[in-house]
Structure 1
Amino acid sequence: MAKSLRSKWRRKCRAVKRVRYGEKELARLKKTLGIDENASKDVEMSDIQEIATVTNAQAIKENKNKKVVQGNMEDEEMDDGTAKVYSKKTMKDQYGNYPVWINRRKLMKHKKGRAKTKKGTIQRDKKVAKKQKKRRTKGKEKIEQA
């Protein structure tokens, strides 16, 4: 569809811009990483220590294990009435309300799906009950015949 002269000209101009901006972006990236040929090799890294903390994997694992051990205590400390706990299955909080951030269409779809699963479990129970009644009546008939 886009075969007009105007669209061809725009496509050509965008290709030129892509090349020009690509060169600028590459230069900026090299400067950021410190691998620029023109820039000085001595880079002061003391500023990075203020921005980020460096830890090893073992220290992170130990902190994670400590949190798992203290899991029950953390829940009690955070339970001050403001924190809401959402169920993964029902997607509701402890008061029976859905979270604010759920899209309404998604919420309605979830409700329909939950209704189908409930309906399926109820029907299965009824079918089992009917089968058991049939077995009981057949058992009584056999006893009466004997």
Structure 2
Amino acid sequence: MGRNNRSRKRRDEMNKIKKVRYEAKELIRLKKTLGLIDAEGNEIMKDISEVAQVKTSKEIKREAKSKEEQELIYEHQESLEKGEPVALVNENTGVEHVFNSKTLKDQYGNYPAWFKKKKTAKRLRKKQHAQKKNFKQAWTTVNVPL
């Protein structure tokens, strides 16, 4: 039931040689498509920074993280702001509803008719996430998740 490793080793060696050869060809093809070399193989441009902006994965992750942190800070600041009361009269019943501009609830705790439940739930999830991210214990200097 044992397999012959000898042929596998030979195959691996040949594949390594092929890989080196194909990588060189692929690099030349890539440079041609980017316009770094012409059809004969002469270099046109020496700096790739003129063609594309080169970033490492760490830089991209750092930018994404900072953007997310800014959004959370904005959400937190928004949650601290108080809403203004806005009075509306229902045309059908004649009852006056005083809505809060931030929470969109009236004095009875109801949302307006045009406000959807899914949208409300999504908004509340975002708000709670922002509050959890910015939560700090008085006795620690590190964020403690809830």
What is the TM-score with the length of structure 2 in the denominator?
0.30
Higher RCO, Cα 8 Å, sep 6+ = 2
| Structure with the higher strand share, 1 or 2 | 2
Rg larger in 1 or in 2? Answer: 1
